[in-house]
Amino acid sequence: MKGKRIAVLFDNPEASSERGPTWEQCGDMEEAARAVRTALESLGAEAIPIVIRQNDYGFVDELREAKADLIFNLSDSLFGESQYEPTLAGILETLGMPFTGAGSRGLSLALDKGVAKAILRSHGLATPEGGAVYPGEEAIKTLPLPAMVKPSAEDGSIGIATDSVVRTKEALDERVRYIWENYRQPALVERYVEGREINVALWGNGDSLLPLPPSEIDFSEFPEGLPKVVTLNAKWTEGSPEYEGTRPVCPAEVSPDLLEKINGTALKAFRIFHLHDFGRVDFRVDQEGRPYVIDVNPNPDISPDAGFSRATAVVGYDYPATLGEIGRLALERFDTR
């Protein structure tokens, strides 16, 4: 990354409409972007902040004017809407500038959990049975209870609470309605897999694609009597019982047999979803030790304290080196296209 000009792109609907931010003007929301900046600068690169303001396409001109070697794409939304995440990648594709992470195609496929499930299944990869359900529709008749009900096109545990695990048909219908009313999208209803939660981060492209050491969510301190799921609070509300009760452990202790299964599945999922540079595949493992894919994540969180950086640290990459490698992978990919 030495000597490279890197545009650090992020979406901030709350940013003021004033043009041309300096890093000092970025505000609290961009902690992750600041961490990326510090890391890139420590590698000898120049980091240029490009903020996407609400309903403002000025970022396109700013990107062009920046004449950057690479865009570090830190946005998981466009104008605050997660459904436009693939659209933003599409805009970057039309600009013809190298950018990190998945393109519009990979993001679209993975963002729709119902579609993702069908793709996984068609490739013979195990995923809990289920599918997308609209309110008033009969949920999949053969689906055993308890079931998991989640928004079909969100991320970051949005819409996930301990109430997402339903044990009766009435509770299931109620939660499907709740998802519709709050998120205006069908619910993804699937078998609730009781058991370990393990995820596999990967990086690379093509033949260089490599799984990183698996990580496990340790639920041993999770509040008694509640289903063990990574809820919105567990992910984001520091100090809450759910947050404190979901401790990530990397590397996870897994048998060679389980490791082979999850790594093989994660590699295949990365490829069939057209992910680029880095990604993460989430599993639940049932009582018989069978892993099921519950989530395919293009562009997972690469904050210094996120799971991805924890996994790369285990194989000897500190935070700057992790970002350097992601940048290198993206540049290499655009070079050989």
Ligand X SMILES: Nc1ncnc2c1ncn2[C@@H]1O[C@H](COP(=O)(O)OP(=O)(O)O)[C@@H](O)[C@H]1O
Bridge partners of 249? 216
Selected from 282, 285, 296, 299, the binder of Mg ion by CB under 5 A is 282
The tokens describing 204, both together, are: 């690379």
Interface mask (CB under 6 A) for ligand X, residues 232-271, using x and -?
A: ----------------------------------------
Q: In angstroms, rounded to a whole number, what is the distance separating the alpha carbons of residues 202 and 308?
A: 8
Question: Quick one: DSSP state of residue 184?
Answer: S
Q: In angstroms, rounded to a whole number, what is the distance separating the alpha carbons of residues 303 and 191?
A: 31
Q: In angstroms, rounded to a whole number, what is the distance separating the alpha carbons of residues 203 and 102?
A: 12
Interface mask (CB under 6 A) for ligand X, residues 101-140, using x and -?
A: ---------------------------x------------
Residue 192: phi and psi, rounded to 5, are -80, 120
Single out the segment in contact with ligand X by CB under 6 A; choices: 73-81, 98-106, 185-193, 268-276: 185-193
**Is residue 295 close enough to count as binding Mg ion by CB under 5 A?**
yes
Single out the segment in contact with ligand X by CB under 6 A; choices: 135-143, 155-163, 174-182, 302-310: 155-163
**Measured from the CB of residue 297, what is the shortest distance to Mg ion in angstroms?**
6
Assign 194 to helix, strand or coil. Answer: coil
DSSP tally for the chain: helices H, then strands E: 11, 13
| Choice between 4 and 196, CB closer to ligand X | 196
Cα 215 to Cα 141, 198, 210: the distances in Å are: 34, 6, 15
Q: In angstroms, rounded to a whole number, what is the distance separating the alpha carbons of residues 294 and 117?
A: 8
Number of chain positions touching Mg ion (CB under 5 A): 2
Selected from 15, 33, 153, 160, the binder of ligand X by CB under 6 A is 160
Bridge partners of 133? 187
Q: In angstroms, rounded to a whole number, what is the distance separating the alpha carbons of residues 130 and 121?
A: 11
**Measured from the CB of residue 317, what is the shortest distance to ligand X in angstroms?**
24
Q: In angstroms, rounded to a whole number, what is the distance separating the alpha carbons of residues 242 and 244?
A: 6
Q: In angstroms, rounded to a whole number, what is the distance separating the alpha carbons of residues 292 and 97?
A: 36
**Measured from the CB of residue 148, what is the shortest distance to ligand X in angstroms?**
4
Angle, vertex CA 254, rays to CA 251 and CA 257, nearest 5: 135
Selected from 230, 252, 259, 326, the binder of ligand X by CB under 6 A is 230
Single out the segment in contact with ligand X by CB under 6 A; choices: 5-13, 92-100, 156-164, 306-314: 156-164
**Is residue 156 close enough to count as binding ligand X by CB under 6 A?**
yes
Minimal CB distance residue for ligand X: 295
Single out the segment in contact with ligand X by CB under 6 A; choices: 26-34, 36-44, 136-144, 184-192: 184-192
**Is residue 197 close enough to count as binding Mg ion by CB under 5 A?**
no
Q: In angstroms, rounded to a whole number, what is the distance separating the alpha carbons of residues 183 and 265?
A: 30
| Choice between 197 and 277, CB closer to ligand X | 197
- Residue with tokens 């998945």, as numbered in its chain: 102
**Which parts of this chain interact with ligand X (CB under 6 A)?**
128, 148, 150, 154-158, 160, 190-193, 197, 229-230, 282, 284, 294-295
**Which parts of this chain interact with Mg ion (CB under 5 A)?**
282, 295
